[in-house]
Structure 1
Amino acid sequence: MIKCNNVQEQAQDLSAQMFERWHALLLGGDFVLGEEVTQFETWMSERCNGAHAIALNSGTDALFLALRALGIGPGDEVITCANTFVATVGAIVSAGARPVLADVGDDELISVDTLEPLLSARTKAVIPVYLRGRPVNIDAILDLCRSRGVAVIEDCAQAIGTTIDGCQVGTRGDASAFSMHPLKTLGGLGDGGVLVTTNLKIAEYARSVRNHGLENRNESVQFGINSRLDSLQAAALNIKTRYLDQWLKRRTEIAAFYDRTLCDTATGVDLGGGKPGNAYYHYVVKSTDRDRLQRYLAEQEIQTAIHYPIPIHRQRAWLSSQPQIVLPNTERLSREMLTLPCHHHLSDSDVERVVLAIKQFERLGARVAI
């Protein structure tokens, strides 16, 4: 089976190094917010052009604390998209604000055109999502939002390695949220996340609140939460950072092969349209006969995935608490998109098999169209 992700293989490759590092941690007892966490935060800061990096226990908490740091809560509105993991909207709801969902373009990303009509006097923030590692036109969004006094929180959960003008995304808005979930290109062996910001006040707030607002072991200066990255996860991430650029390079090579060999098929190439700086967390094509294509590929022992089959505004959590809305492009894409395998454990012959199977499917006369 050609797998759609390489979570197990990635961990197994580096297990000897991880066990050695963890053994040292077990002997030293430095389990929470220790030197390994500081080392990872330093690496992340350097990756993000010197911005503050605060390690947390999830990307969700990074979004939540960014909203809290900006004073966003009940009575406020935050605009984002519906074709993302539910955590993006969940963080808004957890902060007490009202989520407002914008439709997306054919590249699955929100833009000034889709979010501007939704801006109101109650809008306090916009959360653009770098879905699948694709660059968003963040500068245009920033220009619009800053002209209206609206904050921008970049959802970079899938965007480690995504660049704009050669720089890691996540430092142009007021704050950004990265996820280090095991499924991510740079993932731990459990949950993890990072809040990145160039704003010292936001950084100081997040650093304090992630640890109950403690000034020392016995004194709290403000009420906070428990969102500490543990040293065992940080140690695993510190090992993986050595290989990240190599892994990203392989993803780009695979994506380029797909682009070249699928461009003349009805299934077509990645919905990101070959955006410069794409980290290819997902390589997604579309087909009006998506479900049959997925079954056919499975019969050829090629695993694919659908991210995300049910847009947030069609899920029970939304329908039971928010007004019903229609997002035509989001809904159409949710029926057509399919994620192909694209990770560094794939061989050249693996990706050739994927392309060959897609072309065989189309030769069988299936109803497939761009």
Structure 2
Amino acid sequence: MIKCNNVLEQANDLSALILKRWQVLLATGDFVLGEEVAKFEAWMSERCNGANAISLNSGTDALILALRALGIGPGDEVITCANTFVATVGAIVAAGAKPVLADVGDDELINVDTIEPLMNARTKAVIPVYLRGRPLNIDAIIDLCRSRGVVVIEDCAQAIGTTIDGHQVGTRGDASAFSMHPLKTLGGFGDGGVLVTTHPEIAEYAIKARNHGLETRNESVLFGVNSRLDSLQASALNLKVQYLDQWLKRRVEIAAFYDQALSRTATTVDLGRGKPGGSYYHYVVQSKHRDRLQSFLAENDIHAAVHYPTPIHWQEAWLKSQPPVVLPNTERLSREMLTLPCHHHLTDSDVEKVVATIKRFDLMEKQ
């Protein structure tokens, strides 16, 4: 089976090196907020143009703490999209604010045209999502929000390696959230995340809030949470960062091959339209016959996935707690998008097989 993700293969590749590191770490007793964590935060800061990088238990916690640091809570509205992992909206609800869902463009991303009509006096924040590691027009969104006194929190959970003008995304807004979940391009062996910000006061809040609000071992200056990236995960990530750019390069190569090879099939090219700066966490195509195509690929030992089959406004959690909303483009895309395998463990022959199988499906549909 040609897999849609390479979590197991990546773990097996590096397991000997990581276990060796862990053996050394276990002998130190340095398990919480130690040297390995500081080293990873320094790497992340450098990656993000020198911004503050505060490691946490998850990307979800990074969103929640960013919202809290910016004073977002009950009575406030936060605009985001519905075609994202449920954590984006869950973080807004956890902060006590009301989520407001904007529709997306044909590229699956929210933009000023979909955000602006939803703004009102209660709008306090916008969370644009770099879905699939795809760059969006963040400067236009920030300009709109600044003109309205609204803060911007960038959801970069899928966007490690995504760039705009050659720079890692996540530093243009007031804060951003990255995920190091095992499925991510740079993932640990459990949960992990990073809050990135250029604002010292947000960084100071997050550093305290992630550790119960402690200023010293026995003095709490605010009521926080337990959201620390543990040293074992940081140690593994510190090894993986050495390979990240090599992995990202391979994803871009595969995406370029798909772009060219699939450009004349009924299954269209990547929804990102080859926009530069994409990190290709997902490579997604559209098909009016998505479910049949997915089944045909599976019959030929190719795993293609749907991210995400049910938009958040159709989820039970939303329907039980929020007013109904209609998002035509989001709903249409949810029925048509399909994620193809795109990761560094794929061989050229794997990628060629994916393309050949899609072309065979295309011919069958025309008959």
| TM-score, length basis structure 2 | 0.99
CA distance in 2, matches of 1:80, 1:27: 45
Task: Tell me the CA shift for residue 366 of structure 1.
Answer: 5.5
Q: Is the 8 A contact 1:78 1:100 kept in 2?
A: yes
Task: Tell me the CA shift for residue 239 of structure 1.
Answer: 0.4
Task: Tell me the CA shift for residue 217 of structure 1.
Answer: 1.3
- Pairing 1:360–2:348 present: no
AA in 2 matched with 1:195: L
Q: Is the 8 A contact 1:152 1:174 kept in 2?
A: yes
CA distance in 1, matches of 2:360, 2:313: 36
Instruction: State the identity %.
Output: 79
CA distance in 1, matches of 2:261, 2:131: 23
AA in 2 matched with 1:340: L
Q: Report the counterpart of residue 212 of structure 2 in structure 1.
A: 212
CA distance in 2, matches of 1:352, 1:20: 37
Task: Tell me the CA shift for residue 216 of structure 1.
Answer: 1.4
Q: Deviations over 1:140-189 (max 9, x none)?
A: 00000000000000000000000000000000000000000000000000
Q: Report the counterpart of residue 165 of structure 2 in structure 1.
A: 165
Q: Report the counterpart of residue 93 of structure 1 in structure 2.
A: 93
Q: Report the counterpart of residue 322 of structure 2 in structure 1.
A: 322
**Residues 187-202 of structure 1: pairs in structure 2 closer than 5 A:** 187-202=187-202
Q: Report the counterpart of residue 38 of structure 2 in structure 1.
A: 38
AA in 2 matched with 1:220: S
CA distance in 2, matches of 1:310, 1:278: 24
Q: Is the 8 A contact 1:84 1:311 kept in 2?
A: yes
SS of equivalent residue, structure 1 residue 125: strand
CA distance in 1, matches of 2:7, 2:69: 33
Q: Cα distance 1:220–1:266, how it changes in 2: closer, same or farther (>3 A)?
A: same
Task: Tell me the CA shift for residue 225 of structure 1.
Answer: 0.2
SS of equivalent residue, structure 2 residue 121: coil
Task: Tell me the CA shift for residue 365 of structure 1.
Answer: 2.1
SS of equivalent residue, structure 1 residue 30: coil
Task: Tell me the CA shift for residue 37 of structure 1.
Answer: 0.3
SS of equivalent residue, structure 2 residue 3: coil
Q: Report the counterpart of residue 149 of structure 1 in structure 2.
A: 149
CA distance in 1, matches of 2:83, 2:275: 19
Task: Tell me the CA shift for residue 308 of structure 1.
Answer: 0.3
CA distance in 1, matches of 2:69, 2:251: 35
CA distance in 1, matches of 2:364, 2:129: 37
Q: Deviations over 1:68-114 (max 9, x none)?
A: 00000000000000000000000000000000000000100000000
Q: Report the counterpart of residue 129 of structure 1 in structure 2.
A: 129
SS of equivalent residue, structure 1 residue 145: helix
- Pairing 1:224–2:216 present: no
Question: How many aligned positions are there?
Answer: 367
Q: Is the 8 A contact 1:313 1:319 kept in 2?
A: yes
SS of equivalent residue, structure 2 residue 365: coil
Q: Deviations over 1:31-67 (max 9, x none)?
A: 1111000000000000000000000000000000000
SS of equivalent residue, structure 1 residue 96: coil
Q: Deviations over 1:237-269 (max 9, x none)?
A: 000000000000000000000001000111011
Q: Report the counterpart of residue 333 of structure 1 in structure 2.
A: 333
| TM-score, length basis structure 1 | 0.99
Q: Is the 8 A contact 1:289 1:366 kept in 2?
A: no
Q: Report the counterpart of residue 241 of structure 1 in structure 2.
A: 241
Q: Report the counterpart of residue 63 of structure 1 in structure 2.
A: 63
Q: Is the 8 A contact 1:171 1:198 kept in 2?
A: yes
